[in-house]
Amino acid sequence: MRVVVVGSGAAGLIAAYRAATRGHDVALVTKADLPESNTRYAQGGVAAVMFDDDTVDSHVSDTLVAGAGLCDVEAVRVLCTEGPDRVRDLLALGLELDHVDGPGSPLARGREAAHSAARVLHAHGDATGLSLEIALIDAVRSLPLEVHEHTMLRDLLVEATPSSPSAGSGGSGRRVVGVDVVHADGSASTLRADAVVLATGGAGQLFRHTTNPEVTTGDGVAAALRAGVAVADLEFYQFHPTALAVPGTPLISEAVRGEGAVLRDAAGRRFMLDVHPDAELAPRDVVARGIAAAMAAQGGAPVYLDATALGGERLAQRFPGITVTLQAHGFDWGTEPVPVTPAAHYWMGGIRTDLSGRTSLPGLFAVGEVACTGVHGANRLASNSLLEALVFGWRAGAAIEDEAWPATVVADDARVLPVPVDGSSAVLDRAALQALLWENGGLVRDADGLQQAAAELAGALPDFEGDPIGTLEDRNLLELGRAVVAAALARTESRGGHARSDYPETDPTQAVSTAWRLPAAALVPVTVPTTGALA
């Protein structure tokens, strides 16, 4: 079978590797250089039960607690049960994880927020994502597959199919048959395929402050929506508690707090002790909002991450990359606390999938942050993201040849998302969009702010004067901004990464995943079937 994988983070690479080793003809498409993705910036590590004093049940329980009542229990069980084997696969492919005392000694491990055990594995201190990315790229490059760098997904190619479920279409009447892409020089082309795997990551560029790289513009979720695919839980965006409060907001790993660093306000008070019994090791949404409240109380000034008790030598050894970043910004964190602020980090919502990455559009798979598997619920447990990429990327790569397409991923009850107002002409550039969503759809929301954002987004268009890639990215961000705001308005409670100041309590009746889709009139048209194509 011909398979196109879009995205070159951990999820895309492992899916491409798995599909290619099973004999499929694979083309790997990525918007920038092959290594550029959220994966390479993951510092903390990968959570997996690899030690005798830990259990899968404990990992499952921790994940469910962090997910605030919205996790899919079966998906979580798959994640935590199959995760250790996927880590072993990566070790066999050349991933070098840190050991306690050199090669041959036990694997080193750390503990992060909301984990009941130390199970977070890391590589080169705080370069786990980069190390994993390099190992997977080496594995992929050893195989005879195509690689298309500097190539952006514009839309999915969709053809009409017979409505009978026996045709392998799940009765949807549509099937993906490839991708429409744009190259760095502005030229366009199409890649036909029997199956498409989306692994394009999240959409951190929706917000003014994010730990994500510039490529994270939600291209896969936006293209899937335009193809009629169901998405879910778009309101749940995780804001990492500790990004360095400088331009670019580089991430300071949660593992730093796991090692003993504490948070202090401008007066030096350790304020998280008054917020949650686990203080700095509370779930991420709790810590992020605790920081936001402390910042508000001191006029918006950053709070401080105090790791001085660990000492400069230990910090440089355990977190060499962060140490270099801090030094570049003039900070010596071994002797002084450093200013931090929350920043958009991870999207729990995305394209709704089953346990093998299948979406509501036959032939289309989604893996990694672009997908909503249900494992993260309303708030991702620290270091579960790389694990999800490995587990579900592997599963999708193995499921491609299976023609059966279960109807369980089709969301007949999906709510309809808003589309631009007819005759709209107001241009909203990316900086303005990011500011609007940061203020009105960010860490803490309310109806007034969300309705203001919805009104401004309803009549907004991207700036068509920019480069072709940038214009497409801005289109995607605008469409996803409308979707996030609509979902946030619809959930009238606070849960996990979704906090409403006008509905501060969690409502047990809303402990359900919410699916969304675009109206039929907003979808990309089906293409004319070609000879020999799936139809």
Residue (of 220, 334, 236, 218) closest to 285 by Cα position: 236
Specify whether 76 is located in the same domain as 175. yes
Which of the listed residues 326, 342, 358 is the one where a domain comes to its end?
342
CA–CA gap between residue 421 and residue 471 (Å, rounded) = 19
Give the alpha-carbon dihedral of 129, 135, 137, 142, to 10 degrees: -170
Beta bridge partner(s), residue 243: 251, 341
Specify whether 166 is located in the same domain as 195. yes
The continuous run of DSSP H or E covering 326 comes out as helix 320-328
Specify whether 336 is located in the same domain as 355. no
> What mean pLDDT do residues 374-389 have?
96
Does 165 fall in a domain? yes
Beta bridge partner(s), residue 426: 460
Specify whether 185 is located in the same domain as 49. yes
179 lies in which domain range?
Answer: 2-203+348-409
Residue (of 390, 366, 386, 245) closest to 305 by Cα position: 245
Give how many domains the chain has, as a whole number: 2
User: What percentage of the chain's residues is helix, strand, coil (to nearest 5)?
Assistant: 35, 20, 45
pLDDT of residue 163: 54
Specify whether 250 is located in the same domain as 308. yes
Q: Are 344 and 237 in contact (CB under 8 A)?
A: yes
Dump pLDDT digits (tens) for 195-226.
999 999 999 999 999 999 999 999 999 999 99
Does 216 fall in a domain? no
Does 445 fall in a domain? no
Residue of higher predicted confidence among 285 and 338 = 338
> What mean pLDDT do residues 269-288 have?
93
User: Annotated active-site positions, please?
Assistant: 284
Dump pLDDT digits (tens) for 115-174.
999 999 999 988 899 999 999 999 999 999 999 999 999 999 999 976 534 334 444 578
Specify whether 352 is located in the same domain as 402. yes
Q: Report the side by side order of strands in the sheet with 262-264.
A: 237-244, 338-347, 303-306, 262-264
pLDDT of residue 467: 84
Does 487 fall in a domain? no
> What mean pLDDT do residues 166-191 have?
80
Which of the listed residues 296, 312, 342 is the one where a domain comes to its end?
342
Instruction: Tell whether the model's pLDDT for residue 44 goes beyond 80.
Output: no
End-to-end CA distance of the chain: 15
Does 501 fall in a domain? no
Please state, as a whole number, how many other Cβ atoms lie within 10 Å of the Cβ of residue 359: 26
Specify whether 104 is located in the same domain as 139. yes
Q: Strands, E, within 217-273: which ranges?
A: 231-232, 237-244, 262-264
Residue of higher predicted confidence among 171 and 451 = 451
CATH of the domain at 75: 3.50.50.60
Does 227 fall in a domain? no
Does 54 fall in a domain? yes
Specify whether 329 is located in the same domain as 362. no
Specify whether 399 is located in the same domain as 299. no
Phi-psi map region of 383: left, alpha, beta (phi>0 left; psi -120 to 50 alpha): left
The continuous run of DSSP H or E covering 324 comes out as helix 320-328
Specify whether 263 is located in the same domain as 150. no
CA–CA gap between residue 516 and residue 417 (Å, rounded) = 6
Does 448 fall in a domain? no
Q: Distance between alpha carbon 334 and the CA centroid of its chain, in Å?
A: 31
Beta bridge partner(s), residue 181: 153, 189
Specify whether 44 is located in the same domain as 147. yes
pLDDT confidence band for 37 (50 / 70 / 90):
confident
Q: Are 393 and 15 in contact (CB under 8 A)?
A: yes
CATH of the domain at 260: 3.90.700.10
Which of the listed residues 308, 342, 376 is the one where a domain comes to its end?
342
CA–CA gap between residue 346 and residue 203 (Å, rounded) = 8
Locate 364 and state its tokens.
């289309």
For 162, residues 6+ apart whose C-beta sits below 8 A from its C-beta are 169, 173
Per-residue DSSP letter, 173: S
Helix (H, G, I), strand (E, B) or coil at 43: coil
Specify whether 269 is located in the same domain as 166. no
Instruction: Tell whether the model's pLDDT for residue 305 goes beyond 90.
Output: yes
pLDDT of residue 168: 42
Q: Are 296 and 128 in contact (CB under 8 A)?
A: no
Dump pLDDT digits (tens) for 453-487.
999 999 898 877 778 899 999 999 999 999 999 99
Dump pLDDT digits (tens) for 46-62.
999 999 999 999 999 99
